[in-house]
Structure 1
Amino acid sequence: MSATEQVKILEKRICELELENKRLHDSVEYLTKKLFGRSSEKTSSLSLGQMSLFDEAETTTDPLAPEPTLKEVDDYRRKKFKGQRKELLKDIPRVKRLCTLVKEDRFCEACNTPLVPVGEEFIRTEIEFIPAQVRVIDYYRETFECRTCRKKGQPYMEKSPMPYPVVQHSMASPSTVAWVMHQKFVNALPLYRQEKEWKTLSVNLSRATMANWIIAASRDWLAPLVDLMHQKILQGKYLHADETTVQVLNEEGRKNTTDSYMWVYATGQHCKHPIRIFEYQPGRSGKYPQKFLKGFKGYLHTDAYSGYKKIPGIIRCLCWTHLRRNFVDALPKDIHSPEATLPSQGISFCNKLFEIEKTLENLSSEQRKSERLKQEKPVLDAFWAWIDSTRGKVLPKSKLSEAFIYALNHKEEFMNYLKDGNCSISNNLAENSIRPFTIGRKNWLFSGSPKGASASAAVYSIIESAKANGLNPYKYLNFIFKELPGVQFGQHPEFLEDYLPWSPEVQEACK
C-alpha cells in the first residue's frame, strides 16, 4: 500500500472519528438538557431571524433594538379590574360580620350620653377556612304495624326502606369513599398520607381499609359505567390513545420491578359527549389496544408507536406535537448558534400549523377541512420540500437526522388529519388526559396489586370523564355512590344511562 493511500485511509478515519465525536457531544448535551434543563418546549427565546419563515411582521423586527424600560415592562403586568375580587368570590357563601361597641362602652366620654348607631363602614373582605368535620351516622329502621289487622288476628307489619351501602359490611359512606378517591386520584394524595389526615380528625382509618373501599366501590359501581362508556366510544368515529408505565406489585409470574402500562382512550375534541377511559394492562403489546378497540372504525390519533398498527380498519393520525418535540430536542445548547438554524426552521413550520389551527377552532367540520386545505396544505408542502432539500446536509445519526427520518417514515399518517375536519393536528387531548395519572404516580409510586391497578383505571376514567363534561369530580363520585346502589341495572342496563356524566340529572346535581 502506497503512502498516498495510507494518508487517504487515515484522513477518512479521522473524519469518521470527528463525526462520531460530534454525535457523542450532541448526545451528552441532549441528555444533560433532559436531566437538568427545563421540560418546557416553548420557543419564545429563539432568535427572530430563525423563527420567521412565514410571518413577514417578524422579519421587520430590529434584533438590535434597545431593551424595554422598566415602565414598559410594568405595562405588561396583569392589571386588576374593578370588581375582580367580587367575581372571584361570587360562588362562595357570604357572612356579614359587624364590629360594634359592647353595651358597657356605648357612652360619650365627654358627657356620658348613651351612643346610638348612625351607620356602617365597609373595611375589608377575608376568606375563612372551615376545617373538615367528621360525624358518625347510626342507621335505625322503623317498623310499622296495622292495629286493625292485629285485632282481627291477622297481624300486618312493614319496615321502612333503607339506603343501600356503598361497601357491604363496612362503615364506609358515599361521601367518605368519594373523598378518599378524590384525595388520591385528583389531589394525588397517597393513602398513607390520608391515613395521617384522618387521625387528625380522631378517626383511625388504615390505608388497607381505604384501599379495599376503593377496589370494592370501583368494582361494584364504577366499572359498569366505564363498560357502558366503552361501548359508546366504539360507536364513534374519532379517538385519541396514549399509554404510560405503571409499577404493579404481585402480578402473577412477573417481577415487581417489571413495567406494566396504563392506557387511555379519549373521544375526539369535537365529540358531543366527551369520554376518557383508562385501562390497566401488564404490557405494551399492540394486542391490548387491538382488543379494546375491536369494532372501532374511524380515525385514531396516536404517537408513532408501532403497536397501534395491529388495529384493523382505522386511519391513523399522528401527532405534530411529537414531531415538533423532535426538532426541539435537536436544538443545541446555544440556540443562537448557526447549528440551531435548521432545527429552528423545523419548529417554525410546526408552529405555523398550530397558529392556523387556533383560528379554525370555532368553524364547522366542513369549513375547517376546507380552510386546512387552503391555509395549511401550502405550509405542509413547503415543509416536506424543505426536508427533501436539507436532509443531505444533516449529520447522520444526529438528533436532527432522527427528526427528519421520523417525519419521512410517517409522512402519510402526518397528513391524514387533512381528510376530516373533526380530526386533530395533535394527540394533546390524550396526553392531557393521562397527565393527572403521571402526576399521581410520582406520589403513590406503584399499585399494590392488579386489582388495585384496575380499580385505579376505573376511578381515573370516571374522574377525567367528569372533568371533560364540566362536572365536579367529588360531587359526581358522591352522586354515583349515593344513588346507584340499589338500582337494578343488572336486569335493566338502560338504567345506567341516567348516571353517565352528560345526563341532565347528573349535570344539574354535580356542577
Structure 2
Amino acid sequence: QIRDTEKPINLGKKPKREPSKTEKANPKSNENKRPRGQQPGSEGHGLTERPDLPVVYEQACFPQNPVCPCCGLPYTLDGSSGPETQIIEVDVKAYTRRIVRQTGTKICSCKGVPQTITAPMPPKLMPKSPYGISIWADVLLNKFHYCQPTNRLLNHYEELDLPISAGTISGGLNNLKELFEPICNRLYLQQMTEDRFHQDESSWKVFEEIEGKIGNKWWLWVSRSESVVYFLIAPGRGADIPISYFENTRKGKIIVVCDRYSAYKSLANKMPFIILAFCWAHVRRDFLDAARKYPELEECAFCWIEKIAQLYHINNLRCAAFDKALPVQWQSESFKKRHESVINKMNEMTQDRDAFIESHNPDDPNSTLLSNAKYKILKSLKNHWDGLSVFVQHPEVPMDNNKGENAIRNPVTGRRNFYGSASVWSAQLAAMMFSLFKTLELWGLNCHHWLNSYLNACALNHGKAPEQLSRFLPWEMDKARLEKLSKPIDTS
C-alpha cells in the first residue's frame, strides 16, 4: 500500500509500461508479435449481403432537363432503368393506430338478436394501456437485453414526439412480470434435468428496504447449463442460495465449474453428488497478481503462467480429438496419446509445486515476504488440486469458468448503467428477463422476434401467459420454428 501511494500521479499522457524481465531478456520477441486486425495480403470478406431487407424503389431524376453543352438541344429521356445505387436506411417513427371497428345492422326480423353488432377489438397486451406491443417489447429489450437505462429510451421517444412518463413504464413493467413467470419456471425445470453447470455471482443493488436486510447490496447469481442460462437475484451471497437452487435436481451426479468461493465448497459438502471443477483462469490470475505486487517474483510467476498456458494448449489438442459419444477408455489412439500428455503435464506441475512447499516453512522467522507469498499461492493450488483436476477425466468439462463469467457480463453492464433495481419486484423481473434473453442467445434465436411472438400470444390470451408454452421453449421447437425465430421479423 505504501508503494502504491508513492507512485507519481500522472494527469496527462499515459506513461509507458516498463518491460518485464522476460521482455528484457528476449528483446526480439515483441518484433515477432502478430499485429491486430486483418493481416496484409489476407482475403477480405467483401461487403455484407443483406438479402432479407425489404427494398423501397426510388428513381433519381435530373433536376432540370439536360441539354447538350455544345448546341443546347435537349437529351431524350427514356424510362428504362440505368445504373443502380443502394443506400441502407433505418426508419424509426412513432404513430397512432386509429382502429375503426366495423358495425353491422340486421335485416331480418328474428327476435332476441341484437339490432347492431360491432367487430371485436384487436388483441391488446394490457387492456387499459394505450401503448402497443411494439413499445413494451422495445422497453424490455432496451433495458434487459441491451442494458440501457429506461430514461435514455424515453428521451429518444420524446424526440420522436412520443413523450411517456417513467411512472407509466414502471407500472406497465410490473404488470408484465406475471407474463414471464410461467416460462421462466420452465427454464428452471429444464435446467434441473442437466448435469453440467457454470456458476458465478456478482453484486446487484436493490433500493427497497426489507425486513432483516441491512443495506441495498444484493447478489446476482447465474447458472449456465447446456440449454439454459438462469439468473437469480437474492439478498445474500451465502451457501444457502446455491443449495436451495439445486434441491430439485434430477441427476445423481453434477459437475459445477466455478471459482474457489467458499459458498460453492459448502454446496459440495452439503450435496456430495455435486463435484466442483475449479477455474484455472483464477489460478493464473493469482500468479499475475503476485507478479504485479512483487516485481521480484515476476520471473517465477511468469514461469507458472507459462506452465498453465502449456496445459491449456495440450488440453485443447486433446479435446479436438475427443468423441463425446464414447467414454475416455474407448477413445481413439490420437486422443489417448494427448490424454497421456495432459496427465504428464499435471504430474510435472504437482512435483514442482510440492518441491517448494516441502522446502519452505512459513513459520520460520527467517522466511522472507516473497517466499511466503509464493508459498501461499502454491499451497492454495495444492488445496484445490482435486477440483482443478476434474477436467482430466472429464474432457467435456472446460478448464475455466469463462462461460459463466461471459453469461453474467451483460447484466453487470446493466448494473453499471442503471444502478440495479428500485424494488424487489423489479429485481425479480430483471432476473427473469436476463434468463430469457441469455437463453435465447444460447440457442441463436432473435430476441426481438421471439419477444414479439410471445407478447402477441399473450395478447391473444387476453393479457395472460399462453397455456401452451412449448412453442416458445427452444428445446421443444422443431427445426423449422427454430430457423424462423432465428431471423428478424418478416415485415414484407
TM-score by length of 2: 0.79
Which of 178, 182, 185 does residue 224 from structure 1 map onto?
Answer: 182
For the residue of structure 2 that corresponds to 1:330, the secondary structure is helix
Change (3 A) 1:332 1:510: closer
Further displaced range: 228-237 or 79-88: 79-88
Change (3 A) 1:124 1:401: farther
Which of 295, 312, 320 does residue 354 from structure 1 map onto?
Answer: 312
Query: Structure 1 residue 260: deviation in Å?
Result: 0.7
- Computed over aligned residues only, the root mean square deviation of the Cα atoms, in angstroms, reads 3.8
Corresponding residue for 1:205?
164
Structure 2: segments with no counterpart, 5+ residues = 12-18, 361-367, 488-492
**Structure 2 Cα separation of the partners of residues 413 and 66 of structure 1:** 35
Asked if 2 retains the 8 angstrom alpha-carbon contact of 1:29 and 1:333, the reply is: no
Query: Structure 1 residue 484: deviation in Å?
Result: 3.5
**Residue 413 (structure 1) aligned with residue 397 (structure 2):** no
**Structure 2 Cα separation of the partners of residues 293 and 380 of structure 1:** 31
List per-residue Cα deviations over 1:36-88 (Å, max 9, x = no partner).
9xxxxxxxx866699xxxxxxxxxxx93549759xx98897545877744226
**Residue 479 (structure 1) aligned with residue 453 (structure 2):** yes
**Residue 133 (structure 1) aligned with residue 93 (structure 2):** yes
Asked if 1 retains the 8 angstrom alpha-carbon contact of 2:446 and 2:485, the reply is: no
Asked if 2 retains the 8 angstrom alpha-carbon contact of 1:145 and 1:155, the reply is: no
Asked if 2 retains the 8 angstrom alpha-carbon contact of 1:498 and 1:506, the reply is: no
Query: Structure 1 residue 145: deviation in Å?
Result: 6.5
Which of 228, 237, 241 does residue 199 from structure 2 map onto?
Answer: 241
Change (3 A) 1:177 1:114: same
Asked if 2 retains the 8 angstrom alpha-carbon contact of 1:479 and 1:510, the reply is: no
Query: Structure 1 residue 395: deviation in Å?
Result: 4.0
Change (3 A) 1:388 1:281: same
Asked if 2 retains the 8 angstrom alpha-carbon contact of 1:249 and 1:447, the reply is: yes
**Residue 466 (structure 1) aligned with residue 433 (structure 2):** no
Which of 277, 286, 294 does residue 317 from structure 1 map onto?
Answer: 277
For the residue of structure 2 that corresponds to 1:278, the secondary structure is strand
**Structure 2 Cα separation of the partners of residues 152 and 31 of structure 1:** 97
**Residue 280 (structure 1) aligned with residue 233 (structure 2):** yes
Query: Structure 1 residue 195: deviation in Å?
Result: 2.2
Paired amino acid for 1:327: F
Which of 401, 421, 424 does residue 450 from structure 1 map onto?
Answer: 424
TM-score by length of 1: 0.76
**Residue 192 (structure 1) aligned with residue 151 (structure 2):** yes
**Residue 63 (structure 1) aligned with residue 23 (structure 2):** no
**Structure 2 Cα separation of the partners of residues 305 and 275 of structure 1:** 23
**Structure 2 Cα separation of the partners of residues 358 and 140 of structure 1:** 64
Change (3 A) 1:64 1:453: closer
Paired amino acid for 1:110: C
Corresponding residue for 1:306?
262
**Structure 2 Cα separation of the partners of residues 125 and 235 of structure 1:** 50
Query: Structure 1 residue 235: deviation in Å?
Result: 0.6
**Structure 2 Cα separation of the partners of residues 355 and 117 of structure 1:** 68
Corresponding residue for 2:113?
155
Corresponding residue for 1:500?
473
Query: Structure 1 residue 480: deviation in Å?
Result: 1.4
**Structure 1 Cα separation of the partners of residues 461 and 72 of structure 2:** 72
Paired amino acid for 2:129: S
For the residue of structure 1 that corresponds to 2:247, the secondary structure is coil
* 1:55-204 equivalences in 2 (<5 Å): 63-65=26-28, 68=31, 77-79=38-40, 84-87=45-48, 92-93=53-54, 99-104=60-65, 106-116=66-76, 126-130=87-91, 132-139=92-99, 141-142=101-102, 147=107, 150-155=108-113, 160=119, 162-204=121-163
**Structure 2 Cα separation of the partners of residues 255 and 460 of structure 1:** 24
Asked if 2 retains the 8 angstrom alpha-carbon contact of 1:247 and 1:446, the reply is: yes
Asked if 2 retains the 8 angstrom alpha-carbon contact of 1:320 and 1:426, the reply is: yes
Corresponding residue for 2:411?
437
**Structure 2 Cα separation of the partners of residues 275 and 31 of structure 1:** 49
Paired amino acid for 1:181: L
Asked if 1 retains the 8 angstrom alpha-carbon contact of 2:259 and 2:279, the reply is: yes
**Structure 1 Cα separation of the partners of residues 442 and 152 of structure 2:** 28
Query: Structure 1 residue 295: deviation in Å?
Result: 3.0
Paired amino acid for 2:471: D
For the residue of structure 1 that corresponds to 2:163, the secondary structure is coil
Corresponding residue for 1:4?
none
Asked if 1 retains the 8 angstrom alpha-carbon contact of 2:125 and 2:463, the reply is: no
Query: Structure 1 residue 403: deviation in Å?
Result: 2.5
**Structure 2 Cα separation of the partners of residues 470 and 439 of structure 1:** 21
Query: Structure 1 residue 428: deviation in Å?
Result: 1.0
Query: Structure 1 residue 211: deviation in Å?
Result: 2.2
**Residue 343 (structure 1) aligned with residue 301 (structure 2):** yes
Query: Structure 1 residue 243: deviation in Å?
Result: 1.0
Asked if 2 retains the 8 angstrom alpha-carbon contact of 1:365 and 1:420, the reply is: no
Corresponding residue for 1:253?
211
Asked if 2 retains the 8 angstrom alpha-carbon contact of 1:221 and 1:484, the reply is: yes
List per-residue Cα deviations over 1:160-191 (Å, max 9, x = no partner).
55554323421232211111111112322212
**Residue 293 (structure 1) aligned with residue 246 (structure 2):** yes
**Structure 1 Cα separation of the partners of residues 207 and 26 of structure 2:** 56
Paired amino acid for 1:245: S
Query: Structure 1 residue 398: deviation in Å?
Result: 5.4
For the residue of structure 2 that corresponds to 1:388, the secondary structure is helix
Count matched residues: 449
Query: Structure 1 residue 496: deviation in Å?
Result: 0.8
Further displaced range: 436-445 or 365-374: 365-374
Query: Structure 1 residue 384: deviation in Å?
Result: 1.7
For the residue of structure 1 that corresponds to 2:255, the secondary structure is strand
Query: Structure 1 residue 438: deviation in Å?
Result: 0.7
List per-residue Cα deviations over 1:206-233 (Å, max 9, x = no partner).
222222222321x222221110010011
For the residue of structure 2 that corresponds to 1:213, the secondary structure is helix
Paired amino acid for 1:386: D
Asked if 2 retains the 8 angstrom alpha-carbon contact of 1:226 and 1:458, the reply is: yes
Query: Structure 1 residue 422: deviation in Å?
Result: 2.6
* 1:7-46 equivalences in 2 (<5 Å): none
**Structure 2 Cα separation of the partners of residues 250 and 171 of structure 1:** 29
List per-residue Cα deviations over 1:350-395 (Å, max 9, x = no partner).
2123223444257422669554632322211111211111244584
**Structure 1 Cα separation of the partners of residues 342 and 436 of structure 2:** 36
Asked if 1 retains the 8 angstrom alpha-carbon contact of 2:183 and 2:469, the reply is: yes
Asked if 2 retains the 8 angstrom alpha-carbon contact of 1:326 and 1:400, the reply is: no
Asked if 2 retains the 8 angstrom alpha-carbon contact of 1:251 and 1:450, the reply is: no
Change (3 A) 1:74 1:405: closer
Asked if 2 retains the 8 angstrom alpha-carbon contact of 1:248 and 1:256, the reply is: no
For the residue of structure 2 that corresponds to 1:301, the secondary structure is strand
List per-residue Cα deviations over 1:406-441 (Å, max 9, x = no partner).
222211111122333332211111110000011111
